[in-house]
Amino acid sequence: MKALVYNNPYEVSVEEVDDPRIEAPTDAIVRITSTNICGSDLHMYEGRTSVEQGKVLGHENMGIVEDVGPGVWRVQRGDRVSVPFNIACGTCVNCEHGLTAFCLTTNPTPGMDGAAYGYANMGPYAGGQAEYLRVPFADFNLLRLPPGDDHELDFTMLSDIFPTGYHGTELADVRPGHTVAVFGAGPVGLLAAYSAVLRGAARVFVVDQHKDRLALGERFGAEPIDFSAGDPVEQILDANGGMVDRGVEAVGYQAHDHTGEEHPELVLDNLVRAVRSTGVIGVVGVYMPQDPGAADDGAKDGRVAWDYGTFFAKGQRMGTGQCPVKHYNRDLRDLIVAGRAEPGLLVSHELPLTAAPDGYAHFDRREDGWTKVVLHPAA
Ligand SMILES: NC(=O)c1ccc[n+]([C@@H]2O[C@H](COP(=O)([O-])OP(=O)(O)OC[C@H]3O[C@@H](n4cnc5c(N)ncnc54)[C@H](O)[C@@H]3O)[C@@H](O)[C@H]2O)c1
Ligand SMILES: [Zn+2]
Ligand SMILES: [Zn+2]
């Protein structure tokens, strides 16, 4: 089959690789209809992870079940499914508590709990930017979708970024009436802002410097803050008449100033300043234990020098980590089916798999109008 593989920084290509096969009785094979390029893929693309050459990328996958192992009974051939990016066993203590992003059994990497498709440090699993994908523990992991091809662009957000954006607001304990600041208007930040709106926030601010992304934020019901126009925290305090109740970090360790210079502590510091005392911050932007491309030695080992002192003095709380997609995807699917949520609004480009390297290059440069790329390998 054809698949998108990582070669070197800024170099990915579509290659012929072995078809996946049923390796365990609980596996399924999914024929991929839609698979998205994620901001998380760009950390690998830019050489900022230890991902190995030849890895098939892609953790935002959906499609049609093509084959199932003899131990799979709930999911059937022909089912239309969303594949959560987490690969979880369903039986360890973390899975039993719904914390599938921290499954204790599926990632053999020392010191790492939680596995994913096609990602650095997340286990030996191939990604789904490919014609077919092997899904372990298929009955536990797969979410069934209504048959047909309705809502394809909305449903394809269920594998990662809609649940992840929602998780940011859950970690931040966003409640009706709250004022909320979301940093980053990439796909994750946009859907975090949208989730805050869905949860009944009174006002939601979304910070970025890309006009196209900020304009989408407005369509999702948020107020845009352009950090290239001045200190975003001052802008939020002015607009809100004081600090906000809640904050969401949807940028990650490659946070930068308006000139593009990276400061991994910048967004954490801004959130500590913008959120009121005893307020809560949800961090879904990724921070890595190792960053080969970091500007200073501390950050190379994941030591980000952010303002913990003020965070402590303000009695704030913070939640962090990968999203346990299964915790949210069923409910978010049903919001889409009911016509109450339309996360697919942020898709700017639908491309065949063969155009994936081009899609990576444009999306990586955050070119105007490239807000989310969906690949259709079956096309
Ligand atoms: N926790 C999880 O489960 C999970 C899942 C998916 C993605 N992520 C992470 O979420 C982050 C965002 O993902 P994405 O797909 O939206 O990526 P993206 O790169 O498309 O978006 C990031 C946005 O942040 C903006 N930004 C950069 N510096 C900023 C600053 N100082 N202030 C405000 N905005 C700033 C950029 O302009 C960009 O639009 C990434 O780190 C990604 O790895 C985490
Ligand atoms: Zn993703
Ligand atoms: Zn588990």
For the residues of 323-340, what is the DSSP string, one character each?
Answer: --GGGTHHHHHHHHHTTS
Output the CA–CA distances (angstroms, integers) from residue 130 to 86, 123, 148, 152, in the order listed: 18, 18, 21, 17
Q: Is the pLDDT of residue 350 over 80?
A: yes
61 alpha carbon – ligand 3 mean position (Å): 20
The DSSP symbol for 109 reads S
Residue 339 to residue 333: CA distance in whole angstroms: 10
How high is the pLDDT of residue 293? 87
Helix and strand totals (H; E) in the chain: 13, 17
244 alpha carbon – ligand 2 mean position (Å): 27
Residue closest via CA to ligand 1's atom 26 equals: 184
Is the overall model pTM greater than 0.95, yes or no?
Answer: yes
Tell the burial category of 300 from Cβ atoms under 10 Å away from its Cβ (0-12, 13-18, 19+). Answer: middle
Fold of 2-160+325-376: Quinone Oxidoreductase; Chain A, domain 1 (3.90.180)
pLDDT-derived band at 192, boundaries 50, 70, 90: very high
Mean predicted confidence (pLDDT) in 49-70 = 97
4 alpha carbon – ligand 1 mean position (Å): 22
- Ligand 1, atom nearest to 256 Cα: 28
- Ligand 1, atom nearest to 266 Cα: 31
Which bin fits 58, alpha (ψ -120 to 50), beta or left (φ > 0)?
Answer: left
How high is the pLDDT of residue 53? 97
Tell me, using a 6 A CB cutoff, whether residue 220 lines ligand 1: no
How high is the pLDDT of residue 359? 98
Q: Are 17 and 130 in contact (CB under 8 A)?
A: yes
Tell me, using a 6 A CB cutoff, whether residue 189 lines ligand 1: yes
What residues does the ion ligand 2 have nearby, CB within 5 Å?
38, 40, 60, 160
Tell me, using a 6 A CB cutoff, whether residue 255 lines ligand 1: yes
Tell me, using a 6 A CB cutoff, whether residue 191 lines ligand 1: no
Q: In what order do the strands lie in the sheet with 223-226?
A: 223-226, 203-208, 179-183, 244-249, 275-283, 317-320
Domain ranges of the chain: 2-160+325-376, 161-320
Tell me, using a 6 A CB cutoff, whether residue 38 lines ligand 1: yes
Tell me, using a 6 A CB cutoff, whether residue 213 lines ligand 1: yes
Q: Could you tell me how far CA 199 lies from the centroid of its own chain?
A: 19
Tell me, using a 6 A CB cutoff, whether residue 207 lines ligand 1: yes
Residue with tokens 């002015």: 238
Residue 179 to residue 119: CA distance in whole angstroms: 34
How high is the pLDDT of residue 296? 84
Q: Are 60 and 118 in contact (CB under 8 A)?
A: no
- Ligand 1, atom nearest to 321 Cα: 1
pLDDT-derived band at 129, boundaries 50, 70, 90: very high
Spatial CB neighbours of 160, under 8 Å, sequence gap ≥ 6: 36, 38, 40, 59, 60, 84, 85, 323, 325
Q: Which ligand is nearest to the CA of 346?
A: 1
Round the average pLDDT of the chain to a whole number and report it: 97
Percent of the chain with pLDDT over 70: 100
Mean predicted confidence (pLDDT) in 131-156 = 98
Spatial CB neighbours of 146, under 8 Å, sequence gap ≥ 6: 80, 337
Residue closest via CA to ligand 1's atom 21 equals: 186
Residue 94 to residue 88: CA distance in whole angstroms: 9
Q: Which ligand is nearest to the CA of 103?
A: 3
The DSSP symbol for 355 reads G
Question: If residue 141 lies in a helix (H) or strand (E), which one and from where to where?
Answer: helix 138-141
Q: Which of 374, 352, 303, 287 is nearest to 131 (CA)?
A: 352
75 alpha carbon – ligand 1 mean position (Å): 33
Q: Which ligand is nearest to the CA of 325?
A: 1
- Ligand 1, atom nearest to 188 Cα: 16
Tokens of 37: 């390029």
Q: Is the pLDDT of residue 378 over 90?
A: no
Percent of the chain with pLDDT over 90: 96
285 alpha carbon – ligand 1 mean position (Å): 6
Tell me, using a 6 A CB cutoff, whether residue 187 lines ligand 1: yes
Fold of 161-320: Rossmann fold (3.40.50)
93 alpha carbon – ligand 3 mean position (Å): 7
323 alpha carbon – ligand 2 mean position (Å): 10
- Ligand 1, atom nearest to 284 Cα: 1
The DSSP symbol for 96 reads H
pLDDT tens per residue across span 216-273: 999 999 999 999 999 999 999 999 999 999 999 999 999 999 999 999 999 999 999 9
Which residue from 36, 37, 40 has its CB within 8 A of the most atoms of ligand 1, so it is best to mutate?
Answer: 40
Residue 182 to residue 271: CA distance in whole angstroms: 9
Q: Hey, is 167 helix, strand or coil?
A: helix
Mean predicted confidence (pLDDT) in 265-294 = 95
